Amino acid sequence: MIDVNTEVCVCNSITAGEMAKCIKENNLKTLKEIIENDICAIGDKCEACHDEGFHNDGINIPLILSMVEKGKL
């Protein structure tokens, strides 16, 4: 399980918990919707959080999205 305090979008200082909350509250369903949303800035500065994760750890936006969809976050 991922710690909700893990920073996923380092460029915007967004944690896994904050990202999950934004995804749920705004009913975001795709990576594109998340990046293009105007409510919470996620993944709009660099692309590390889109793929391999900032620390090359695999903790990225698609992983958080998947965990939200499965009710694990």
Q: Indicate the SS3 state at residue 9.
A: strand
Q: Tell me how many domains the chain contains.
A: 1
Q: Which domain holds residue 28?
A: 7-69
Q: Among 1-10, 13-22, 62-71, whose mean pLDDT is lowest?
A: 1-10
Establish if 40 belongs to a structural domain.
Answer: yes
Q: What is the pTM of this model?
A: 0.90
| pLDDT tens-digit readout, 35-65 | 999 999 999 988 888 988 888 888 999 999 9
Establish if 1 belongs to a structural domain.
Answer: no
Establish if 31 belongs to a structural domain.
Answer: yes
Establish if 38 belongs to a structural domain.
Answer: yes
Establish if 57 belongs to a structural domain.
Answer: yes
Establish if 2 belongs to a structural domain.
Answer: no
| pLDDT tens-digit readout, 24-35 | 999 999 999 999
Q: Please, what is the angle between helix 61-69 and helix 16-25, to 10°?
A: 60
Establish if 32 belongs to a structural domain.
Answer: yes
